[in-house]
Structure formats: C-alpha cells, structure tokens
Chain A
Amino acid sequence: MSQHHPSDDIMMEYAAGCASTHLALCVAVHLQYCPRCRANIQRLSALGGEMLQQLPQEDLSEALFERIMLRIDLEESAPAAPQKPVEDLLQRWLPDGLNAVSWRKQWFKVYEYVLEVSRKGRQRLSLQKISAGGRAPLHAHYGQEVTVVLQGGFSDELGVYEEGDFVIRSGDQRHRPRALENEDCICLAYLDAPVCLAGPIGRWIERFRRLFMPDLNAPAS
C-alpha cells in the first residue's frame, strides 16, 4: 500500500467536487492504488450527503416532475449503450499501456509524454519517465507539481516514493528526483505553472529560455 497520500484538505475538496479536473485525475489515480484513501473518500462523501440532506427545501416549478418523466420516457424508448466501467483512468491516452508510449527525451535519462496542456500553457498534464538510476536536473516550480507514481519509484531530497504514492511539491521546494536503481520510474505529473531550472547553469538556461521561448514551458534539452 502506498505511503504518501493527498492531504486532508485535498481529499475534502475532491470529495466535495471542487478540486480542478486535473487535480481530481491525480487523486483518482492514487485512489486506484490506495484502499485507505478510498475508504476516506467514502466517508467524506457521506459528510457531503449529510450536508446536502440538511439543506432547506426549495420550491420547484409545477411541471418539473412531468418534464423529467418526459425525458426519461424518451430515453427509455431509445436506450443508449451502457457505459463501460473504466479500468484505467489513463486508458484514453494510453490504449496500449505504459510500454507503448512514444517518449520525448528531455534530459539525459529523463523523458516526457504530454497528455494535456492548457491553452495558455500554464497547466500541463504529462507522464514523466526517469530511466533506472537516472537523475532529473535540480529544479523548482513557479507553481505546484503533483506527482503520482505509476511504476517503479523515485527519491528526492524529501523522501522515497513508490508505486501509487501521491506527492506535492510547491514552488519554493527545489528538488532533484532520482529513479530507483533497478527499474524505470514512470509518474503522472500535473504542473500548474512551468518548471524553472535551479543551479547556476539552470538559471542561465532559464533566463535564455524565457527571453527567446516564452511560450515553451518545458526545460530545454
């Protein structure tokens, strides 16, 4: 079972449905690995259920029930195909699984595969791979980085993370993730602002990048 879980406030925002869709995806992927958090989400949803039940009753318009029945009758006469339960949340992007991903090299042993980028490029959902024993450059973030380990494991200045672990690094935490020796590490990563490289060379690259490639939010390789 994984050892690093979303914080209580993230869990609550998720259960309440006010987490952003990308953060929700990261939490949902963690839940696939973590029965304990699934049980907690269930309780947090029970709390939502109780809050909802305690709301006052609002008057409804006369014909609302009939309108609903009309829609149901229409649907019943032309039933849609039943929705298949999803086995893997990332299936949509990875129909052939993690082994068939066409990685883009970013650094010596560091690879990325972008799933979604927001229009302004500030938010980025991607898969990241560090080959066994490889090390990412020292970096910090302008915003927050959420990582869920899908395969293998990595360590950084603050801890060791294994399959299913949910890790958040905020802008002021510089870190240099390193894959465990025996296996490639693949993570789902959600970044709500670009990466900035740290260290003297990193700072130089960073300044250069911002001058000439303001729209590109991946570190130059």
Chain B
Amino acid sequence: MADNGKQHAPHRGDMTGAKALWATLANHGISTVFGYPGGAIMPVYDALTFYPEVRHVLTRHEQGAAHAAEGWAKATGEIGVCMATSGPGATNLVTGLADAMLDSVPLLAITGNVASHLMGTDAFQEADITGITLPITKHNYVVRDVEELPLIVAEAIRIARSGRPGPVLVDIPKDIQLAAFHGEIPAPHARPEAPAPSPESVERALELLRGAKKPVIMAGGGSLDASAEITALARAWDIPVITTLMGLGAFPSSDPLWLGMPGMHGSVAANRAISEADVLLGIGLRFDDRVTGRVSGFAPNAAIIHVELDAAEIGKIIRTHVPVRGDAKQAAQLLAEGAQPTPRPEWKAQIEDWKSRTVTPETYGAGYAVKAVVDRLRPDDILSSDVGQHQMLAAQLARFEKPRRWINSGGLGTMGFGLPAAIGAGMAEPGVRSVVIAGDGGFQMTAQELATLKMYDVRNVKICIINNSFLGMVRQWQELFHEKRYSEVWLGDSNPDFIKLAGAYDVPGYRATTAEELPAAIDAWLSDPKSALLEVVVPHEHGVFPMVPAGAALYEMIETEPVRSPDLSAQMQDAAEEASEA
C-alpha cells in the first residue's frame, strides 16, 4: 500500500464520538473502509488518523465505495464497510445500498450528517438519508446520543450479518462525532445461529424426494455457504443441480450433475429440466422473475420444496408445497442424510440430451471473447462482471469450482458495478487475481475508479472491456422486440480510447480486434505484473442466447441466435449512424 501521507498518531487522547466509531469498527475486526470525505464527516476522518489499524480506501465516487465494499463482502462473506459525508455523499451511496439489499450483501454504510440542531432545516448538504434509504436497507439509524454510537454501530453490524444479510446505514450528525464519549467500546455480538429447519418439514421434503422421478435441485445466492453440503446432497441422491446467477459456484461446474444457470439467459438443460421436473428443491433463493420467466409456466409439473431462511420469501412468488424454513447448510445436510437414491435412467438420458445442446460461441464476437477470457481463469481467480450482455455471457460460459469466486450485480442490475467491485474483491484477497469483465457502456459509469487502482497500487485487478460500441443488451431487446429501432444505444462515436484512458492512470492496456489477436493479447494482459486493461473490440450485433423473452415461460426459450438477413449488419450500422446524426 502506498503511503498516502496518513499521520499515524500514537496517542488517541480524549475519546470523541468519531474516535469511538473507529474503535468500535476496529474491535469488530473491520480492517478496510471504502469512502470519501466531506464537510459533515470531517471529525470522523480526523479521528481516522489515530487508528492506523483500519485502512481507509479513498475511491473516486461514493458509489464506487459502496460497490467496492460489496465486492469485498461478496468475495469474503464478511461485512463490507463504506463511508460518505452528508447530502450528496450520502445519496451517492444509494445505488450501492439498493444493490446490496437485492443481493443480500452484508454492508455497513456510515454517513455524516449536519449537526443535530440543523437537521430538518434544509441546511447545507443536508439530506434525509435515513428517510431516503428506508426501503433499501435492512435497517437504519440516526445517532442522537454520542453514548449510544458504539452500541448502534455494533448493532448495525449484527443486523447486517445475521439472518438474510443486507445493508444497514448509520447516520451520524457532526456534533455527535465531536461530542465527548465516556462509555465502553462494545465487543462484537456473537453471530446468531441460523434457525434449524423443523424435522417435520425435512421429513415431508424427504418423502417428496423419495417418490420423485424427475427431481432437480436449484441453488441460489443463499446457498453459497452451504456449497459442500449441497454438493454432498446432490451426489447422495444423484439429482442434477441448477445454480442461479447468484448461486454460481455453490456447486462445482465440473460435476456431471451440473446443468448450468436457469432463467432468461439460462442453459437449455436448466430451463428444460425445470419445465419437466416433478420435484424441484430450491435452496436459498427467492424465485426472481429473471429466473422464473412467466410464473404460471414455471416448473408447471413440479412439487416445490423451498429451503429458505427468510420466511417472507416462501410462497412470495411461487406456490410452495413443502416449505423448509431455516439454514441452508443444516437443511442440505439433513436432506443428504435421508438420501435414498433411485436409478432414474430416463431422466438422466433426457438431461444428457439437453446438456448436449449447449451453445459454444464459434465465431468471433462478444461470446467468443468472453469464453476465451474465462477459459484462461484459474479456480481461485475471482471473476466480477458489470451488467449487460457480457455479464450473461460470463455467467453462461465461466466455470466455477467453488463459491464466492463470482461477483456481479444480480438483483438490481447495476451498470458500473464491475470495476469497483473487482477492486474491493482484489483488496480483500490480494493474493488472488481479481478479473472483471465489463462492457464499454457500464465501464464508463465508474471508470474513474482506475484512480483508486493507481493510488493504492493494486496489482491484481484485471479489467476486460468487451467493446461492441453499443449498449448491447438494450440493443438486443430493441432488435427483438422494437423492430430494430436502435434508440439511443450507439456509443461507438463517443467512446474513449480505452487504452489511452487506462494509460492516463498508469494502467497498462492491451487490445484485440480479431480472433487471431485475442490469445496473445489475453496472455500479455494476464501476465502483466500490474493491474491491466484489455479491450476486446467485437462486432456490433451479437446477441446473448439462449433467451427467454420477458413474460414468456422457460419452455418458450429461444435456444440459438435467430438467423439474420445478410444485410442486417449494414442495416444496424445505418440505424446507428442515423441515430447518432440525429
């Protein structure tokens, strides 16, 4: 880590609210905080100089701080911490908090606020951040008494990590940061044990599984920490496993039982298996609409067993026949113990047939490039993605042998997530390569975080930009559902020279524009001792398939890219040029 001029003051002196905050964070083992200072949080940043055991990472935008904290949390399973000042600083965290809420990421956000007596007066840089973040946090607090500050922070950390994890925000008025603190710094709360599933529910689930002729297991983001148990469960019963976008890595991709990802851009095998299954065992998931497609057509023949910690998710979208409320780890273990594998040769043969319908991108394009990159990854590498076509391609084509190696914005679909998340993950695990695949659109939403890479001399972040000069996913929808009216999705004329942009931050850049150039460019990029950027320029018009159109059932999926008329490329180019001229 570069010395950024931090003054290490050994004497901590009189305790203030701000110092109590850092002492509490340090007591909780928080080693890194991503943030950005400002007027209303200055006492906290001043007190930071007395706490060298906590590293503060200065991002270039508060949104970057929030996503970096998310990347940290998703890679490690531990809580991520971000920090911002009042008003605009706090509102810049909002996207990251919403993202963490939808993806159940344990996150602690600390915001400064104007002094207590100014709150509610529309003071300079005042925003009602607890009001604003009410629906996108698990809980939030305004600290009104300095003596409560450490207790609130400890409690916030407990809430963020317990049960179904999520973001918690603590808003601290400036006078509270400055006030004298006389209390004790609390020890961390013990992590509460997840509730065990009831024996009755497990027994009913076992009964269903025993009678199943076409069973399938579907594992979501809530199953990542139960990966070993789920693997044992699936092998014991010999049941194929589908992992959702958030659950990728919960089951090893190399296992013959793995069917891929379900849903809108899911694999043929996963979507067909769901549509044909007679018993579907869902573990740690919430049946997002991108997974289910049209709900009435989801698993139409299946009895649903739903293992889930959050009672509110059971029966929310999909009618559940056997709810198993509790810890995924314990439930999977109990279900594995009751295993009675029965041979199901027809079901297996059917699944093998579907699996053979995997689409491998053969011609040079976004899919080809993503595959070339992900094939080069090692099992330990962390792969992050931004949001768009490249994300779905990476999810389809990457292979994960273990959990917490895949980091992306699932529920909120936040463009700009990729780079800061990869930085956060890379800082959490400095010995591991943190690779991010982004599109030319999303990358530019948080490209300023290249400066964070430079400042902290992070050496393990590898950025790959799949550049098709379009907002590719929107373009794909416009092609399919809006008669190719490419409205406001052409970026090509205004894109920067990404290599030069990276170079401006001392990040070395590599470029490939053809299939022939690609292998050497990837090698040079990955073997660069520094963090580096690879731009892969691909044809404009490639889509992501298979695809289930919005509102369709999973069995109505389009398996392969529709055949285009020969002049389609030209048409698209014309349309794009017209759009950019207009």
Q: Do A and B bind each other?
A: no
Q: Which residues of A contact B (CB under 8 A)?
A: none
Q: Which residues of B contact A (CB under 8 A)?
A: none
